[in-house]
């Protein structure tokens, strides 16, 4: 295909692909975005539920521990509790179902230990000025924030007051932070999810999984969390977008925080993306294939039509040229005919006037007579030329007349005879004398034969041979023009009738001759075909319908 | 009686030669160089011509016009068109106007004489039919 058709193809195919695929991709993206947003909404809902259930669990944990200690403080008397080994036994009972208490202590109103059981040597400590002790004495029950205390280890305590008169006392227990941390962390989701507690001041009460340690400051203030359970979207310090559930506990002003990466778990989204990409790929291939295929066909048809149109225009122009050439030839012939007729008649008269007396009168008289005859012969010859020119002119007008194909072949041959003899090319006629007359266009047939003969003449070398054969077969009249020239290479066979295809040097052949012949023969209801063997020669076959005259 | 031929042609060399040659062959011949002259001659001598040899392209009155006039004034005269201007159009119109034949110059005198004889025979045949 020519470059401009290739360009047209590219432009049309690209437009077609854009029109077909862009909406497809937009729909694909929309579906994906919708799916992803639904996914995030689901995650938010899940996170909300998780936060509610984890808050309840933590709340329950604390309430149960408070309840246990309250029951103990209310039912046992201080005398019993402070007996040696008593606290150890109680601690063992309390931890029997679940190990959650680290130590137990009974502290009097002055802050001194009446009894203590636990892994630390705290019996001699005075808690009189400890904030948690003051809170417990004041309010009856207190859950402390996490602090280092005398043991220099982060922990928190639950303290309940027993109002014995006149000596109230406080039952204090340290909660196993490992157990508590594990409970809080049960709210973690996925590989990057986190769950921890911060106090109102924003200090970690349980260690976060990433980017912080216990008692360290969280990167957000607790003021961003309204009361109740809320899910918000926020950015981490390293810029990742995450979903976070904030849930305030009711027993204690602690904030349970559950972080979650919305892109995790990615499996459903990944699956959706994979299915969608596969669907888009298949659809793109189908649509792309169809667009490319149809555009290719369309452009090929366009190119074909363009070529036929160009060929038709060229033929029209060619015919117009021939018509004007014919008019010119006729004009020239007319102009020549009149003086030629005068020359002929003058010479004829001279011949008529030669008599025996004249012949006897001069030794040159015989030569004179001979020359007069020669003048007449040349007049006859020139008449042949002008009559042929007139015939040519006449034939340029479209016609349907009764023709003897042999005559037309002979006329066409007469045009190339001179050049053939000049180049010593042998012209052989094998014309069927009994060829039937047919109805056809004389001028167009002449053009076809002349073209074929000219091509043959171009194809053969000096001393070559051109044979023209005519014969009648069943429903046709056939004329074969055969040469023993170089032949047509196999690879050119398909293109030989294409307009503008020529093997002649630039400027020597228009490449229209055979194309026009082919078109003419189709127009006359016949056909033009050929056989060629490289190195041996070519035969062109003109088939004409044997129309009744 | 010898056949009488009127030749109408503006090419004088042609006209003089052919008139002489026709006469040399035993016919009566007269030459004129235009259509007007031809009509003048025919009107003056209506019974003196059997066949007219008529050129088509002539200054003044053209050949076809002359042909029409001849046929209207003297329908019994046969006209053979002899011209260098071969065209199917002229040929068709010549025949429509009653020309016996249409010959293209240059042409051998023998052919012309043969056609003159044929025209005359045709004319006599037509007379006999009447």
What's chain A's average pLDDT? 87
pLDDT digits (tens, 9 = 90+) for A291-301: 999 999 999 99
Give me the sign of the Cα torsion angle A57, A60, A65, A66.
positive
Mean pLDDT to the nearest integer, A449-478: 89
More confident residue, A500 or B11: B11
pLDDT digits (tens, 9 = 90+) for A78-92: 888 899 899 999 999
Residue A470, pLDDT score: 94
Tell if the CB–CB gap between A334 and B84 is shorter than 8 Å: yes
Mutate to test the interface with B, among A326, A342, A377 (most CBs of B within 10 A): A342
Interface test with A, best of B13, B106, B108, B109 (most A CBs within 10 A): B106
Contact A345 B87 (CB under 8 A): no
Residue A124: pLDDT band (50, 70, 90) is: confident
Q: pLDDT digit string (tens) for A320-369?
A: 777 777 778 778 888 898 999 999 999 999 999 888 888 888 888 889 99
Q: A237-286: per-residue pLDDT in tens?
A: 888 888 999 999 988 999 999 998 877 766 777 788 888 889 989 999 99
Q: Give yes or no for A375 touching B (CB within 8 A).
A: no
| Whether the predicted pLDDT of B39 surpasses 80 | yes
Chain B positions with Cβ closer than 8 Å to A? 11, 13-14, 17-18, 20-21, 24, 57, 83-88, 104-109
- Cβ atoms of A114 and A107 within 8 Å: the answer is yes
How large is the ipTM?
Answer: 0.89
DSSP for A452-470 reads HHHHHHHHS-TT-EEEEEE
> What digits encode the pLDDT tens for the residues B59-103?
888 889 999 999 998 888 999 999 887 777 787 888 888 898 888
Half-sphere exposure of B12 toward its Cβ, with a 13 Å CA cutoff?
0
Q: In chain A, pLDDT over 70 holds for what percent of residues?
A: 95
Q: CB-based burial of residue A171 (10 Å sphere; 0-12 exposed, 13-18 middle, 19+ buried)?
A: buried
Q: Using the predicted structure, report yes or no on whether residue A512 has a pLDDT greater than 70.
A: no
CA B60 to chain centre: 17
Mean pLDDT of all residues in A154-167: 91
Q: B13 to chain A: which residues are within 8 Å by CB?
A: 342, 345-346
Q: Spell out a b/e string for B91-111, using b for 16 or more CB atoms within 10 Å of the CB, else e.
A: bebbeebebbbbbbbbbebee
Domain map of chain B by residue range? 4-129
Mean pLDDT to the nearest integer, A120-136: 89
Residue A491 Cα distances to A499, A506, A519, A534, angstroms: 17, 20, 22, 11
User: How far is the C-alpha of A242 from the C-alpha of A221, rounded, in Å?
Assistant: 16
Model confidence band, residue A152 (pLDDT cutoffs 50, 70, 90): confident
pLDDT computed for residue A488 by the predictor: 86
- Determine the pLDDT at residue A508: 62
Encode pLDDT of A55-76 as tens digits: 999 999 999 999 999 999 999 8
Q: Rg of chain A over CA atoms, in angstroms? A: 58
Pairwise CA distance, residues A170 & A381, whole Å: 152
Alpha-carbon span A429 to A482, nearest angstrom = 11
- Give the DSSP per-residue string, A306-332: HHHHHHHHHHHHHHHHHHHHHHHHHHH
Residue A358 has a pLDDT of 84
Q: In what order do the strands lie in the sheet with A141-143?
A: A113-117, A101-108, A169-175, A157-162, A141-143
pLDDT at A413 over 70: yes
pLDDT the model gives residue A18: 92
The sign of the dihedral angle between the CA atoms of A342, A345, A348, A352 is: negative
What domains can you pick out in chain A, each with its CATH number? 1-265 (3.30.450.20), 399-545 (3.30.565.10)
pTM, full prediction: 0.47
Q: How confident is the model at residue A409 (pLDDT cuts 50, 70, 90)?
A: very high
Q: Give chain B's radius of gyration (CA, Å).
A: 13
A337 closest CB neighbour out of B17, B24, B106: B106
Put simply, the answer to whether B104 touches A387 (Cβ < 8 Å) is yes
What is the predicted pLDDT for the residue at B130? Answer: 42
User: Has residue A468 got a pLDDT over 90?
Assistant: yes
Please check the confidence at residue A50 and state whether its pLDDT lies above 70: yes
Q: Is it the case that residue A25 has pLDDT exceeding 60?
A: yes
- Burial of A85 (C-beta count, 10 Å sphere; 0-12/13-18/19+): exposed
A330 touches B: beta carbon within 8 Å:
yes
In whole angstroms, give the CA distance from residue A393 to residue A244.
Answer: 99
| Inter-residue contact A55 to A247 (CB < 8 Å) | yes
A1-21 pLDDT per residue, tens: 578 889 999 999 999 999 988
Average pLDDT over residues A132-154: 90
Q: Sorting pLDDT into bands at 50, 70 and 90, what band is A53?
A: very high
pLDDT at A507: 57
Q: Does A345 touch chain B (CB under 8 A)?
A: yes
Closest CA relative to residue A220, chosen from A200, A206, A240: A200
The reported pLDDT for the residue numbered A340 is 93
- Residue B126, pLDDT score: 63
B4-129 — its CATH code? 3.40.50.2300
Nearest CA-CA distance, residue A487 and chain B, Å: 41
The structure tokens listed for A506 are 């630039």
A399 or A51, which is more confident: A51
- The Cα A402–Cα A441 span in angstroms is 8
């Amino acid at each position: 295909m020519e470059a401009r058709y290739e360009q047209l193809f590219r432009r049309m195919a690209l437009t077609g692909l854009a029109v077909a695929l862009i909406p497809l991709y937009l729909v694909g993206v929309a579906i994906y975005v919708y799916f992803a947003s639904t996914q995030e909404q689901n995650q938010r809902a899940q996170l909300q539920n998780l936060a509610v259930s984890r808050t309840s669990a933590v709340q329950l944990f604390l309430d149960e521990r408070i309840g246990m200690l309250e029951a103990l403080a209310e039912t046992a008397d201080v005398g019993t509790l402070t007996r040696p080994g008593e606290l150890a036994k109680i601690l063992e009972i309390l931890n029997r179902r679940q190990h959650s208490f680290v130590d137990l202590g009974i502290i009097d109103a002055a802050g001194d230990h009446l009894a203590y059981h636990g892994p630390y040597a705290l019996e001699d400590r005075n808690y009189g000025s400890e904030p948690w002790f003051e809170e417990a004495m004041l309010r009856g029950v207190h859950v402390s924030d996490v602090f280092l205390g005398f043991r220099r280890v982060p922990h928190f305590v639950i303290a309940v007051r027993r109002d014995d008169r006149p000596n109230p006392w406080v039952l204090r227990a340290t909660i196993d932070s490992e157990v508590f941390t594990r409970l809080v962390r049960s709210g973690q989701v996925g590989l990057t999810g986190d769950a921890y507690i911060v106090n109102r001041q924003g200090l970690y009460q349980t260690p976060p999984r990433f980017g912080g340690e216990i008692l360290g400051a969280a990167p957000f203030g607790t003021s961003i969390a309204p009361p109740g359970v809320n899910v918000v979207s926020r950015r981490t310090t390293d810029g990742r977008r995450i979903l976070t559930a904030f849930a305030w506990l009711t027993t204690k002003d602690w904030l349970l925080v559950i972080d979650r990466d919305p892109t995790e778990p990615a499996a459903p989204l990944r699956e959706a993306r994979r299915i969608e990409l596969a669907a888009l790929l298949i659809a793109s291939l189908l649509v792309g294939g169809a667009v490319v295929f149809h555009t290719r066909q369309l452009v090929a048809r366009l190119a074909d039509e363009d070529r036929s149109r160009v060929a038709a225009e060229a033929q029209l122009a060619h015919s117009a040229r021939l018509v004007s050439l014919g008019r010119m030839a006729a004009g020239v012939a007319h102009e020549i005919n009149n003086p030629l007729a005068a020359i002929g008649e003058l010479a004829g008269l001279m011949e008529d006037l030669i008599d025996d007396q004249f012949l006897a009168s001069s030794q040159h008289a015989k030569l004179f007579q001979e020359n007069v005859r020669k003048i007449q012969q040349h007049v006859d010859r020139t008449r042949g030329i002008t009559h042929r020119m007139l015939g040519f002119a006449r034939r340029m007008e479209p016609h349907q007349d009764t023709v003897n194909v042999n005559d037309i072949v002979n006329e066409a041959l007469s045009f190339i005879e001179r050049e053939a003899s000049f180049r010593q090319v042998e012209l052989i006629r094998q014309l069927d004398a009994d060829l039937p007359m047919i109805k056809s266009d004389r001028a167009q047939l002449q053009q076809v034969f002349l073209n074929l003969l000219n091509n043959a003449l171009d194809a053969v070398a000096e001393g070559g041979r051109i044979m023209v054969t005519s014969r009648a077969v069943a429903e046709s009249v056939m004329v074969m023009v055969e040469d023993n020239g170089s032949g047509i290479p196999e690879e050119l066979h398909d293109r030989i009738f294409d307009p503008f295809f020529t093997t002649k040097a630039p400027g020597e052949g228009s490449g229209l001759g055979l194309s026009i012949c082919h078109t003419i023969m189709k127009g006359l209801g016949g056909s033009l075909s050929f056989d060629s063997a490289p190195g041996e020669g070519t035969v062109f076959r003109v088939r004409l319908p044997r129309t009744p005259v | 009686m010898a056949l009488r031929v009127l030749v109408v042609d503006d090419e004088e060399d042609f006209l003089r030669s052919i008139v002489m040659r026709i006469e040399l062959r035993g016919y009566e011949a007269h030459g004129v160089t235009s259509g007007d002259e031809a009509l003048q001659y025919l009107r003056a001598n209506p019974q003196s011509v059997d066949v007219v040899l008529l050129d088509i392209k002539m200054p003044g009155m053209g050949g076809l016009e002359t042909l029409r006039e001849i046929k209207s004034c003297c329908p019994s005269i046969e006209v053979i068109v002899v011209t260098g201007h071969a065209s199917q159009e002229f040929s068709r119109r010549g025949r429509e106007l009653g020309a016996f034949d249409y010959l293209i110059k240059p042409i051998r005198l023998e052919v012309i004489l043969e056609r003159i004889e044929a025209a005359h025979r045709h004319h006599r045949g037509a007379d006999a039919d009447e």
